[in-house]
Amino acid sequence: MSEYDTGTFGEFWAPYYDDIFEEAAFEVGLLREFAGDPPRALELAIGSGRVALPLSQAGVEVTGIDISDEMISLLRAKPGGEAIEVIVGDFADVGVDETFPLVYLPFNTLFALMTQERQVECFHNVGEALEPGGRFVLDTFVPDLRRFDHNNTRMGVSSISSNEAHAYEVSIHDPLTQKVVSHQVRRLEDGSTVVLPVTVRYAWPSEMDLMARLAGLQLEHRWAWYDKRAYTEKAGQHVSVYRKPSQ
């Protein structure tokens, strides 16, 4: 397999993505709250529209950025998908000419940027693309290094049985670069098996808060999920809302 780059996720996952992941439910209510009036939002890494389509059905004019033609084709094929403006490019560059009351980046996808520098640039560019008083909302998992053994490897099983769809993953962790290289093995309902690669460069919530500060943004809320449940030491994920000052 060649080096994992910005297009790799879409190239491998697009044929299976919408069968594996359900359309967003909780995300939409919270994002709608921050979308302003008239409601507008920019989704970084819009993918197949899992979040963008229900959000646009909720009355928000959504613009998206994604680098994968395969993922954008999935969006285009769905009802309402043609109406969403999509900019093809690297979302870290946030290459837009207008500003938005809301920029959002769901589903761990900040971690698709492979270096701290690129993640810092992403926060900076989001700051430029926000209106005064606008919000940047993102969710990611909270890193938990106990998942890995002393060789920094992990074998995880989410479900397995002889005759049903199952999934397991093997991962290797590099604590120096904060990267995790994983292969997910999925047996599909038709009996075939696929190997899907994912590489992430994780960051701690505190590290993101610093990236936000460098970009002139302030942490306004941190919840454990989009339904605003409390963020505690037990939370495996967080939804963070950063605000650009009004002046």
Q: Euclidean distance between the first and final Cα of the chain, in Å?
A: 49
CA-to-CA distance for 125 and 104, rounded, in angstroms? 13
Token reading at 129: 């693309």
Binding residue for ligand SAM, selected from 90, 121, 139, 169, defined by CB under 6 A: 90
Say how far apart CA 46 and CA 105 lie, in whole Å: 8
Size, binding site for ligand SAM by CB under 6 A: 20
Q: How far is the CB of 53 from ligand SAM (least distance, A)?
A: 10
Q: How far is the CB of 243 from ligand SAM (least distance, A)?
A: 21
Min dist CB 59 to ligand SAM, Å, is 19
Binding mask 187-226 for ligand SAM (x = CB under 6 A): ----------------------------------------
Q: State the DSSP code for 25.
A: S
- Determine the interface stretch with ligand SAM among 39-47, 160-168, 223-231, 235-243 (rule: CB under 6 A): 39-47
What does the DSSP 8-state code read for residue 143? P
**CB-based contact 94:104 (threshold 8 Å):** no
- The only residue of 56, 63, 109, 140 in contact with ligand SAM, by rule CB under 6 A: 109
- Give the residue from 242, 241, 223 showing the smallest Cα distance to 232: 223
Closer residue to ligand SAM, CB minimum distance, 51 or 241: 51
Structure tokens at 112: 């698709």
Contact between 47 and ligand SAM per CB under 6 A? yes
How far is Cα 45 from Cα 135, in angstroms, rounded to an integer? Answer: 17
- Distance, in Å, from the CA atom of 149 to the CA atom of 171, rounded to the nearest integer, reads 10
Q: Are 47 and 7 in contact (CB under 8 A)?
A: no
Binding residue for ligand SAM, selected from 42, 46, 53, 212, defined by CB under 6 A: 46
Point out which residues pair with 185 in neighbouring strands: 168, 195
Q: Which is nearer to ligand SAM, 63 or 109 (CB)?
A: 109
Q: Is 51 in the site for ligand SAM (CB under 6 A)?
A: yes
CB 107 within 8 A of CB 139: yes
Between 69 and 149, whose beta carbon lies closer to ligand SAM? 69
Of the ranges 106-114, 172-180, 202-210, 236-244, which one interacts with ligand SAM (CB under 6 A)?
106-114
Is there binding between residue 101 and ligand SAM (CB under 6 A)?
A: no
Query: What are the residues binding ligand SAM (CB under 6 A)?
Result: 6, 9-10, 45-47, 50-51, 65-68, 71, 90-92, 106-107, 109, 112
